[in-house]
Amino acid sequence: MSTPEDRYTVISADCHAGADLLDYKPYLAAEHHDAFDAWAATYVNPYEDLLADTADRNWNSARRLAELEADGIVAEVVFPNTIPPFFPSASLMAPAPTRAEFEQRWAGLRAHNRWLADFCADAPGRRAGVAQILLNDVDEAVREVRRTKEAGLTGGVLLPGTPPGSGLPELHSEVYDPLWAVCAELEVPVNHHGGSASPPLGDEPAARAVFMVETTWFSHRALWHLMFGGAFRRHPGLRLVLTEQGSGWIPGVLGMLDYYHGRLVAAASRAATAESKFGAGLAASMGASPGSVWRESCYVGASFMRPHEVPLRHRIGLDKIMWGSDYPHDEGTHPYSREALRLAYAGLPPDEIAQMLGTNAARVYGFDLTRLAPTAARVGPTHGELSEPLEKIPPDATSPAFARGGSVRVW
C-alpha cells in the first residue's frame, strides 16, 4: 500500500534535443567538412527558440538534468529539435529535397544520430535517443537503424511523414517492409511525432491556422496506413508510438477504423457490388481488426495530457499511455510539470498514475526502473502531491495543458 510520501518515477516520453549548429561538424565524415563550412557560414536559423538565451537547453547536459529534476522528471525519450547539417529547417518539417541533396542530408542525420548517442551516454540510463532516418532509400534506412541500435540509442527510430506532394510512396506501401522488418527484429520502436507529415501550406494567416487544425490529423494517418497496409500482420513484433498528437481522438478513430474494416471485409465476401472492390484482399493482407492491432502493437506519447483526455484512459488503454513534458518547447509543461500532473491526474488511483508516468515508457523504451529509483526517490513528485487538485493555473504557464476552459478541470 502506498503512502503520501511515496514518489512516482516520471519518464517524459516526449522531450527534444540537438547539437548547437557548429558542434555537428566533428560528427560528420571528413568528406563533408568543406561543404558543411560553406553551408553553416550562410545559414540563418528560422526558429526563435533556437536563437534565444535558453537554446542551450537542447545540448547543455548539466542544465537539462537539473531542470528536468526540478520538474520531477528522472528520464526522457529524446526526439530531435535543432537543425541537422544541410537541412533548411528542422528535419521534421523540411520538404523532400531533390535527389542531389539526399546524400548530404543523410550525412546530416547520421551526424545528429552520432551526437545523440554521445549525449545519451552522458546521462547513463536516463535518456532514450530517437534516431533519424529518411525514407527515400529504404536500404540505407535499414542500415542506419542497425547502426544506431548498436550505438546505444534506445528510443527507436523517428518515422518521417509522407505528405501529399512528397514524391514518396505512402506509408501503407510494402516498399517499406524491410524497415518494418528490422525494427521488429531489433525491437526498435517506430515513433511518429506530430508535425512531421503535413504538406506545405504557405505562410498566410489562414495557412498557419489551417496547419494548426490539420497537422495532427496528417500525423494520425500513419496509424491507419500501417494497419490497413498489413505491416503489423507481416511483422508481429512491430511497435508504433504516436507522439504529441493528443490522445483523446484514439477511441473514436479506432471505432471508425473497426467500422470500415468490418464493412469492407464483409462487402468483399458478397457478390459483386459497388463497394465490394474496396474490401478485396483486405482481410488477407491486414489480418486482425484495427482495434486488435492497437491493443497488441501501438502506444501513445501523450504529451502534456489534458484533463478532458484522462477519462478516456481505459478506452485508450492504461498500458498504452506515456505522458510527456515536451521539454524544452514553449508548449511543454516545464517548469510547471508538477502542476500539469495535478491538473490532469488528481484523484486517480496511484497505480494508474504510475503506469502513465513511467511504467509504460520503461517497458516500451527499455528504461531500468530499479536504476532510476534512487533519483526518483529524491526528485519525483509524491503520491500526496499529485493527489491534490490544482486550484490555480500558473499565470505564466504556456503549455496547452493549462488551456483555460469552463474550469481548471476542463479544456
Torsion, CA 46, CA 48, CA 50, CA 53, rounded to 10: 150
Q: Rounded to a whole number, what is the distance in angstroms from the first to the last CA of the chain?
A: 33
- Sign of the Cα torsion 25, 152, 144, 44 reads negative
Q: Is the pLDDT of residue 16 over 80?
A: yes
Is residue 410 included in any domain, yes or no?
A: no
pLDDT tens-place string over residues 120-148: 999 999 999 999 999 999 999 999 999 99
Task: Pull the grid cell for residue 193.
Answer: 511525432
Is residue 407 included in any domain, yes or no?
A: no
Is residue 5 included in any domain, yes or no?
A: no
Please tell me which residue, 195 or 271, carries the higher pLDDT value. Answer: 195
Q: Is the pLDDT of residue 409 over 50?
A: no
Residue 356 near residue 304 (C-beta atoms within 8 A):
no
Task: Pull the grid cell for residue 63.
Answer: 542544465
Count of domains observed in the chain: 1
Is residue 354 included in any domain, yes or no?
A: yes
DSSP three-state, residue 298: strand
Supply the pLDDT for residue 93.
66
Supply the pLDDT for residue 410.
30
pLDDT tens-place string over residues 286-330: 889 999 999 999 999 999 999 999 999 999 999 999 999 999 999
CATH number at residue 365: 3.20.20.140
Considering the chain, what is the average pLDDT of its residues?
Answer: 93
Q: Is the pLDDT of residue 186 over 90?
A: yes
Q: Is the pLDDT of residue 85 over 90?
A: yes
Is residue 166 included in any domain, yes or no?
A: yes
Is residue 348 included in any domain, yes or no?
A: yes
Is residue 408 included in any domain, yes or no?
A: no
Q: What range defines the domain where residue 54 resides? A: 11-402
Q: Name the least confident of 28-37, 153-162, 267-276.
A: 267-276
pLDDT tens-place string over residues 229-261: 999 999 999 999 999 999 999 999 999 999 999
3-state secondary structure 157-172: EECCCCCCCCCCCCCC
Is residue 288 included in any domain, yes or no?
A: yes
